[in-house]
């Protein structure tokens, strides 16, 4: 994959660079009490984003002694495992901003699948 201005990191083998897609209404539970009050999650217990857009990935990677084609390509929207992420900061100014776009590196094994839109 060629590098461009928007993707400053080139990944190799089975590592993917993912741009996190935030969850809408992350604190909403959908549970309403008998009195009509809605139960919401705290900020610490809010739903974690599990979808993201692939920005960079390798073409092939070794698996069980064979070279396997990477089934994902840049631009694909994928569903990932909640764990196994290495969050990275691409812009130093965004390091302490809670509303900044989050990026993470993830291995092929931690991707659940592609989301067809």
**pTM exceeding 0.75:** no
For 52-63, what is each residue's pLDDT tens digit? 999 888 888 888
Give domain limits for the chain: 15-114
Query: Average pLDDT of the chain?
Result: 79
Q: What is the DSSP string of 65-111?
A: TEEEE-S--TT-EEEE-SSS-EEE-SSGGGTT-TTSPPEEEEEGGGE
* 77 — pLDDT class (breaks 50, 70, 90): very high
Percentage of residues in the chain with pLDDT exceeding 90?
4
What is the fold of 15-114?
10 Kd Chaperonin, Protein Cpn10; Chain O (2.30.33)
């Amino acid at each position: 994959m060629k590098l461009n201005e928007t993707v400053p990191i080139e990944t190799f083998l089975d590592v993917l660079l993912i741009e996190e897609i935030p969850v809408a209404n992350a604190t909403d539970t959908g549970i309403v009490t008998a009195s009509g009050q809605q139960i919401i999650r705290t900020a610490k217990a809010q739903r974690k984003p599990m979808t993201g857009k692939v920005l960079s990935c390798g073409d092939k990677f070794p698996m069980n002694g064979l070279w396997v084609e990477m089934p994902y390509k840049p631009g694909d929207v994928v569903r990932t495992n909640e764990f196994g992420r290495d969050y990275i900061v691409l812009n130093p100014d965004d390091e302490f901003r809670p509303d900044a776009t989050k990026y993470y590196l993830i291995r092929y094994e931690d991707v659940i699948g592609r989301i067809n839109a």
